[in-house]
Structures are given as structure tokens and as C-alpha cells.
Amino acid sequence: MSQQPQAVYTTDEYGRPFIIVREQARKTRSHGVEAIKSHILAARTVANIIKTSLGPRGLDKILISPDGDITVTNDGATILSQMEVEHQIAKLLVQLSKSQDDEIGDGTTGVVVLAGALLEQSESLLDRGIHPMRIADGFERACAVAVEQLDRISDQVEFSLENTGNLLKTAMTSLGSKIVSKAHEQFAQIAVDAVLSVADLERKDVLFDLIKVDGKVGGSLTDTTLIKGVLIDKDMSHPQMPRSVKDARLAILTCPFEPPRPKTKHKLDITSVDEYKKLREYEKEKFEEMIKRVKDTGANLVICQWGFDDEANHLLLANDLPAVRWVGGPEIELIAIATNGRIVPRFEDLTAQKLGKAGIVREVTFGTTRDKMLVIEECANTRAVTIFVRGGNKMIIDEAKRALHDAICVVRNLVTDNRVVYGGGAAEISCSIAVAKAADEIPSIEQYAMRAFAAALDAIPLALAENSGLPPIETLADVKSRQVTEGNSKLGIDCNGRGENDMKKQFVYDPLISKRQQFLLATQLVRAVLKIDDVITAGAAED
């Protein structure tokens, strides 16, 4: 006769009794369905944290780093990347958000909310005794139906360099939920102009390397400007050098203005005044030789990656050769691309053909602090641009940069594929109706998973309605019934309270590839989570 497991009867802090079975108490971890449920709980916890940040009325989160630095944002990828997440499945959600950010650039909050909703639905299916893999197969099938529906309801938006209205509306949709929403038309215009400046419309390609986003504390968000050229946080190396150089021919150097030294360890003993004078003359000759090499090529401005001492600086000034020192590697590369110049590692290699060309290089100063920055405009390669963000403090500037990144990515996505679906949850509601309809025609047990997928898609419009202060269930039921009766897939949640549910009339656009990627990534992650029934830590002893 098998021995019955012993039970311990105890009470909680309110005096309510509960039972601990000793065999359960000794288990170090759960297996099978119980393990999957614990993973679902961890993922749902993360999803619920950022659900309140979804949509134009979504709330921000304040993130405090271990060093005490503060970040205020509602960008899903930023929130998750800065959260200290211990649970393995929660880390998968963080990676999910990052992959959406890397591939598409926008929709990082929505993809996590959808994944959390799918896992929540799968938990009720597990309680019914449906096998996890049958649930995963049903989700895959439903996702295929949803993606087909997205293709059916998508519209093509026409745009050109002269007619950018549709691009502007899509960028404004992306910026509607950001900190810059008060100036979102201006920021959307900047994002569109920046992308079209560097876009190759024939190849449907956007060279992101040519767009630089920089910021300086001071001024307001409305002072943000797009500079057709390069902006670097440097000034002329000598205060008496000219503040601007017209028809600039730039020598872009990664070698320092200093006398050559042996590569190995060396020691130089100077025992007399004559020897010191000889050394000084030698150094001066070398400096003059370097400056002559630069001047002979016709250069009238030096951009140097390294610093140079006071003597070299004085000789540069005496020879009417303005210079900028300590310019970082990425900025050197951007200047070389923008001016069609070549980066030169040795003075001996410098020739007139390797010089960069720009219409004007000028210093700009800011406010009473007189902070200086250098602007290189009218470059030989006119496609390079810099977005210069202003704001009241560093936190606002950082969030504005993240918002601009999302808007630039959205416009880039439209240049790559000019099909859009409509936001405000309209696309999700339409796909939910299509998936639920398809589930009715499937005789196998997977129909339950497909209906669960349809219910999970409703989580996006529900969250949008809740974050906008609307009654979520009533609002969703009303919009869904109108979509069915009117056959209009453009109806969504009116987050801004304009009294209009047609998202096309509100100009709320989402790129098709962004929405499709959200569905596919969320389904892939949920399938992976449902397949995990145990977590084994390397080196951990078994009971």
C-alpha cells in the first residue's frame, strides 16, 4: 500500500486555514503545465506594467538607474531595457520589444501588450486541459489569418518629394503619444524632411547613417531645427581663429600635430641649453612641415581627431589655418561622408583630391553660457542632415530624441513599403472579427485557440479605450458591432475625443509592415513560452 503524502494544516495572517502537502513543499521547482502557468504569470506582469503607456493618452514611467539618473518615458523598448528583470520569461519579453525596435523602430509597447494578452488567453485554455502545443498551433493558424486580413484592409499611400502629406500624417500618428505631442506637427515635418533628404526612392532605401540627432539643453522643444549638414559639439581650437570659413576645403586627419616619436619605449636626456634649443628647433621644423603639407593641398580648415599642444595651435593661427581638435571617430566619419572627403591617417598621404568640401563652416553660440558648436553646411554630399533638439532639461531632450527615432523609423518604413493600416485599434478589431469567423469553420480543437487569439487582439483597443478614460468594454463592443454592420474596417477607438471613429478621417495611420511584425513576433514568442515546461539552472542540484 502506497504511503499517502502528509499534509500540514496552517493559517495565513487573517486566520484563514490552508494546507501544505509535504511533497509539494519540498519541490524546488514546478513542472509541466504548472511551470507554463508560472511563466505566463511573469510575462503578464511585465505586459501589465507597460499597458498603461499605450496610445496617445498613455501615461509615462519614471525610471531610476542605479546611479540615480532619471528617465521619464512611455517608449516600451526604453522602459523594458532599463527595468531590472530577473525572471527568464520576462527577459524574453524585453528581447521581444528590442527586436521590434531594431527591425521596425515603432510599436514596441503594442507588441508586448499583445504577447501578454495571448499568454493570458492561453492560461484559460490550459485550465480546460488543452495541450500547450495544440494551443500554439491554433495561435499560428490564427496569426496567418490575421496577417492575410491586414493585407486585405491595407491602403497604399502615395507620396513624392513634392507631396509629403501622407508621410506627415503617419509621422504625426507616431508622435501623438510622445512628450513632443504639443509640437508634433513640427517634429513630424522634421522627421519627414530628414528621411527624404537621405532616401533613395528608386531603390526604396534610407541611409540612416546620414541622419544625426543631437541636442543641447536650453530653449524650448519648438526651437528644434533640421540642419542640412553636420553639427558637432566643438569649437575652433584657438579663440582668435575666424568664427566662420566660407568655401571650406577640409583636411580630415586622424594623425596628431606633434613630432614623430619612436614606437618603442624611448628616453631622451638633455644635458645642455644648446641641446634643448636644437630639440625645440627640430619640433618647430616638424610642425611647420606638417602645416606646409596641409596648406599646399589648398586646405583652409583642419578637422583633427587628436589634440595638439599650444605651440602647434599658435603656428596654425600664425599660418591662417583654422583647426578643430578632439573630434570623435563617428563624427569624423560623418563629416567625411557629408563633405565627400577622405579620412587621412598620415600627413604624407594628404592630397588635394582627399579634401572635403562645404559651402560654409561656422560657429554658433547659445544663451548666456555662450556654449559653442560647429555647423558644417552646404556640404558636397547634400544628403547628410542633423536634427538639433532643444529642450528645458536633459530628460526632455532624451525623450524627444527617442520620439524622433520612432517617427523617422515610421517614415522609413513607408518609403520601404507604402502600405498602411488604420490605427486606434481598427486593424486589430478587423483582424479579431476575421479570426473569429475563420475559427467557426475549423472542426478541430484548434478553434478554441483561434477564438482565444481573436479575444487577445481585442486587448489593444481595450487598453487604448481604458488609457483614454473611456469605458473599455462598452466602447469596444460599440466599435466592433459597427465594423460588422457597416463593413468598415477603418473604425477604431476615438482616443482624442473628436467624436469621429473613422481613423482614415482622423488621419491615424500605421505602416503595414509594423503591424504585421507585431503579430508575427508576439505569436512566435508565445509559441516559445508554451513549449517551455521546465527551467533548469546550470549547476543546480536536484532534490
Domain extents in the chain: 30-155+422-530, 229-381
Using an 8 Å Cβ cutoff, are 471 and 465 in contact?
A: yes
Using an 8 Å Cβ cutoff, are 524 and 93 in contact?
A: no
Which of 339, 318, 369 minimizes the C-alpha distance to 251? 339
Q: What are the residues facing 252 on neighbouring strands?
A: 303, 343
Same fold: 30-155+422-530 with 229-381: no
Cell matching residue 303: 578637422
Using an 8 Å Cβ cutoff, are 314 and 370 in contact?
A: no
Q: How many helices (H) and strands (E) does the chain have?
A: 17, 19
Which of 115, 147, 118, 151 minimizes the C-alpha distance to 438? 147
Cα separation of 170 and 414, whole Å?
9
Tens of pLDDT along the chain (543 residues) come to 444 445 555 665 555 565 554 444 334 445 567 778 888 888 888 888 888 888 888 888 888 888 888 888 888 888 888 887 777 888 888 888 888 888 887 788 889 999 999 999 998 898 888 888 999 999 999 999 999 999 999 888 887 777 788 888 888 877 877 777 778 888 889 999 998 888 888 888 888 888 889 888 888 888 889 988 888 888 888 888 888 889 989 999 988 877 776 666 677 788 889 888 888 888 888 888 888 888 888 888 999 988 877 878 888 888 888 999 888 888 888 888 888 889 998 888 888 898 988 888 888 887 777 788 888 888 877 788 899 998 888 888 888 888 888 888 888 888 888 888 888 889 999 999 999 998 888 888 888 999 999 999 999 999 999 988 889 899 999 999 998 998 888 888 888 777 788 888 888 888 888 899 999 999 999 998 888 877 776 655 554
Cα separation of 189 and 461, whole Å?
28
**From 71, 73, 108, 170, the catalytic residue:** 108
- pLDDT score for 523: 93
Cell matching residue 526: 508565445
- pLDDT score for 26: 38
Using an 8 Å Cβ cutoff, are 345 and 290 in contact?
A: no
Instruction: Indicate if 109 belongs to the active site.
Output: yes
469: left (phi over 0), alpha (psi -120 to 50) or beta: left
DSSP 495: T
Q: Residue 352's Cα: distance from chain center in Å?
A: 40
Instruction: Indicate if 205 belongs to the active site.
Output: no
DSSP 81: H
- pLDDT score for 157: 81
- pLDDT score for 4: 47
Using an 8 Å Cβ cutoff, are 108 and 97 in contact?
A: yes
Cα separation of 522 and 114, whole Å?
6
Using an 8 Å Cβ cutoff, are 233 and 284 in contact?
A: no
- pLDDT score for 24: 41
DSSP 196: H
Would you tell me how many other CB atoms lie within 10 Å of the CB of residue 240? 8
- Identify the CATH assignment for 229-381 out of 3.50.7.10, 3.90.550.10, 3.40.50.300, 1.10.40.30: 3.50.7.10
CA dihedral 111, 116, 121, 124 (to 10 degrees): 170
User: Which top CATH class is 30-155+422-530?
Assistant: mainly alpha
Q: Could you tell me the pTM of the whole model?
A: 0.79
Q: What share of the chain is helix, strand, coil (3-state, %, to 5)?
A: 50, 15, 35
Count of residues making up the chain: 543
Using an 8 Å Cβ cutoff, are 197 and 161 in contact?
A: no
Using an 8 Å Cβ cutoff, are 520 and 507 in contact?
A: no
**From 52, 71, 73, 75, the catalytic residue:** 75
- pLDDT score for 22: 45
